[in-house]
């Protein structure tokens, strides 16, 4: 009798299990809706802005302006972490700060907003994890799946968890760039002379108005003494700068936050295209083998034989005045170039697992039952190689980020005014031995940290998926000691 009930429960659809015991699912769903509503305008602004940006890349595509207008509308709505709710911009009138959150100093008001962003992300991720645990306890038919072991191994892989923390920090900075920065991209980067600000003039004891562009000229970091606005300091106009200013006087932290968006966009875009190409070719070559596999091998060898850096530099020069190079100030061109260069490496990484899956009995059985090759590849082969693709794509993504930064450092990357970390290093290299060392050193540290984070995360995922791998054999401690080698 007990075996019959257990079999019926396993065969019961998820929808019926939810109806039979809806309490935990409703509680989790209500909590998730609340968390999303707290920052609803931010998500809608980002989603609509991304759609409008994508339509804008297609010549003659309708609707781009409508989505951009809708995005601007939602960006103005108040939300939990909005700049309007927790403002850090104000001026000192000689006795107290005016215009800041609760009258606090700008650095404390900004720090509160910055920390709240990461607390919110931590709570959201924790709630998503609680949703997985709820599903596992109450609604999953099986008591155990291989995924449980993968997750448990990753949770005890300290080097991988370090990488995950760095990646989450980086993605949060990119996603919430308009909030985490002490100022906005419109004021700081795109049109500083189109925006005004107020400051207290101690000499005349009056509140004066000045354009942000003029204030930036008086806040430039170009050496030592009065020609430098360093880390965790104010400029002469009462503006707080967490990591100092650039040579132009623009806020460096805001530059880095929006630069993270560019790096993430290029990295994820190129890996998505390269991963799609690599997965498609791996499945096709594993299914058909023979001549098909030989053609792809020769093609990938030809691509990998070309000097990647020289190819990118050549393409950057050739397409300099082409319309593709104008999309997002060259970001789309780099996405296509890195996808072209990186797909052979990803293909070789998943080719072996694809060939192994192609020899399994269930693939032969599906073929004998007359299923179409596309269905066999999509349903019976692809799920078994996606984990390996994720590992090597995350490892390769760090290489793309550092490559884009290197090209920008050489003056061949993303063009101004779009912020990019490598260009900040190039701008500040003349001042590295002065008090303005922060201009080059801080972006350099961030690049190193982010690339290391992606490498560590890929190591953790690899060891979690394959417990027989070299990194997993020594346990979490051994992985941490040898991490980053990828």
How far is Cα 116 from Cα 155, in angstroms, rounded to an integer? 25
- Asked if 229 and 244 touch (Cβ cutoff 8 Å), the reply is yes
- Asked if 78 and 93 touch (Cβ cutoff 8 Å), the reply is no
Beta-ladder partners of 92: 97
Strands 196-201 vs 91-92: parallel, antiparallel or unpaired? unpaired
Q: Where are the domains of the chain?
A: 185-250, 253-454
- Region of 40 (left: φ > 0; alpha: ψ -120 to 50; beta: rest) is alpha
How far is Cα 388 from Cα 235, in angstroms, rounded to an integer? 49
Residue with tokens 């063009």: 415
CA-nearest of 165, 257, 171, 150 to 453 is 165
- Asked if 428 and 247 touch (Cβ cutoff 8 Å), the reply is yes
C-alpha dihedral sign at 366, 368, 371, 372: positive
Q: What is the Cα Rg of the chain in Å?
A: 26
| CATH number for the domain running over 253-454 | 1.10.3720.10
The per-residue pLDDT string of the chain (486 residues; one tens digit each, 9 = 90 and over) reads 444 444 445 557 888 888 888 999 999 999 999 999 999 888 888 888 778 777 766 666 677 788 778 887 877 777 888 888 999 998 888 889 999 999 999 999 999 999 999 999 999 999 999 999 999 998 988 888 888 898 999 999 999 999 999 999 999 999 999 899 999 999 988 899 999 999 998 888 888 999 999 999 999 999 887 889 999 999 999 999 999 999 999 999 999 999 999 999 999 999 999 999 999 999 999 999 989 999 999 999 999 998 888 888 888 888 877 777 777 778 888 999 999 999 999 999 999 999 999 888 888 888 888 889 999 999 889 988 988 898 899 889 988 999 899 888 888 878 888 899 999 999 999 999 999 999 999 999 999 999 999 999 999 998 998 777 655 554 444 333 333 333
- Asked if 250 and 181 touch (Cβ cutoff 8 Å), the reply is no
Tokens of 112: 């509160």
How far is Cα 137 from Cα 140, in angstroms, rounded to an integer? 7
C-alpha dihedral sign at 290, 295, 301, 303: negative
Residue with tokens 């090209």: 407
Instruction: Please count the other Cβ atoms lying within 10 Å of the Cβ belonging to residue 398.
Output: 25
**Three state DSSP letters for the chain:** CHHHHHHHHHHCCHHHHHHHCCHHHHHHHHHHHHHHHHCHHHHHHHHHHHHHHHHHHCCCCCCHHHHHHHHHHHHCCCCCCCCCCCCCCCEECCCCEECCHHHCCHHHHHHHHHHHHHHHHHHHHHHHHHHHHHHHHHHCCCCCCHHHHHHHHHHCCHHHHHHHHHHHHHHHHHHCHHHHCCCCHHHHHHCHHHCEEEEEECCCCEEEEEEHHHHHHCCCCCCCHHHCCCEEEECCCCCEEEECECCCCCEHHHHHHHHHHHHHHHHHHHHHHHHHHHHHHHHHHHHHCHHHHHHHHHHHHHHHHCCHHHHHHHHHHHCCCCHHHHHHHHHHHHHHHHHHHHHHHHHHHHHHHHHHHHCCHHHHHHHHCCCCHHHHHHHHHHHHCHHHHHHHHHHHHHHHHHHHHHHHHCCCCCCCCCCCHHHHHHHHHHHCCCCCCHHHHHHHHHHHHHHHHHHHHHHHHHHHHCCCCHHHHCHHHHHHHCCCCC
How far is Cα 89 from Cα 187, in angstroms, rounded to an integer? 12
How far is Cα 93 from Cα 236, in angstroms, rounded to an integer? 14
Strands 231-234 vs 240-243: parallel, antiparallel or unpaired? antiparallel
pTM of the shown model: 0.88
Determine the length of the chain. Answer: 486
pLDDT in the model for residue 415: 80
CA-nearest of 264, 253, 56, 104 to 172 is 264
Distances (CA, A) of 380 to 347, 383, 465: 18, 7, 18
pLDDT in the model for residue 6: 40
How far is Cα 330 from Cα 333, in angstroms, rounded to an integer? 5
């Amino acid at each position: 009798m007990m075996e019959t009930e257990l079999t019926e429960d396993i065969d019961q659809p998820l929808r019926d299990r939810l109806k039979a015991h809806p309490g935990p699912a409703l509680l989790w769903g209500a909590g998730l809706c609340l968390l999303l509503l707290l920052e609803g305008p931010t998500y809608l602004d980002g989603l609509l802005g991304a759609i409008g940006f994508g339509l804008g890349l297609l010549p003659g595509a309708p609707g781009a302006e409508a989505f951009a207008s809708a995005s601007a509308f939602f960006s103005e709505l108040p939300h939990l972490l909005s700049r309007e709710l927790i403002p850090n911009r104000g001026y000192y009138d000689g006795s107290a700060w005016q215009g800041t959150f609760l009258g606090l100093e700008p650095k404390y008001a900004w720090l509160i907003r910055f920390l709240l962003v990461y607390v919110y992300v931590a709570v959201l991720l924790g709630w998503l994890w609680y949703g997985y645990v709820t599903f596992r306890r109450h609604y999953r038919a099986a008591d155990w799946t291989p995924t449980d072991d993968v997750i448990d191994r990753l949770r005890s892989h300290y080097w991988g968890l370090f990488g995950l923390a760095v990646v989450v920090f980086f993605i949060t900075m990119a996603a919430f760039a308009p909030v985490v920065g002490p100022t906005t991209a419109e004021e700081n980067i795109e049109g500083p002379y189109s925006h005004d600000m107020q400051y207290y003039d101690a000499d005349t004891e009056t509140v004066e108005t000045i354009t942000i562009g003029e204030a930036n000229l008086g806040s430039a970091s170009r050496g030592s003494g009065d020609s430098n606005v360093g880390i965790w300091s104010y400029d002469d106009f009462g503006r707080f700068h967490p990591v100092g200013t650039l040579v132009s006087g623009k806020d460096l932290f805001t530059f880095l936050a929006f630069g993270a968006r560019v790096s993430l966009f290029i990295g994820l875009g190129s890996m998505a295209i390269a991963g799609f190409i690599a997965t498609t070719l791996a499945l096709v070559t594993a299914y058909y083998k023979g001549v098909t596999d030989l053609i792809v091998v020769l093609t990938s060898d030809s691509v990998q034989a070309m000097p990647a850096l020289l190819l990118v530099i050549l393409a950057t020069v050739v397409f300099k005045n082409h319309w593709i190079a104008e999309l997002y100030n060259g970001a789309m061109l780099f996405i296509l170039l890195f996808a072209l260069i990186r797909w052979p490496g990803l293909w070789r990484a998943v080719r072996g697992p694809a060939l192994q899956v192609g020899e399994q009995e269930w693939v032969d059985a599906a073929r004998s039952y007359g299923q179409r090759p596309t269905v066999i590849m999509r349903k019976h082969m692809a799920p078994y190689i996606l984990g390996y693709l994720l590992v090597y794509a995350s490892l390769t993504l760090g290489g793309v980020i550092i490559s884009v930064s290197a090209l920008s450092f050489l003056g061949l990357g993303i063009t101004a005014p779009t912020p990019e970390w490598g260009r900040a290093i190039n701008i500040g290299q003349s001042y590295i031995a002065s008090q303005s060392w922060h201009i080059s050193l801080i972006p350099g540290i961030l690049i190193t940290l982010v690339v290391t984070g992606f490498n560590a995360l890929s190591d953790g995922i690899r060891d979690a998926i394959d417990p027989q791998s070299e990194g997993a054999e020594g346990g979490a401690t051994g992985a941490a000691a040898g991490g980053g080698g990828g």
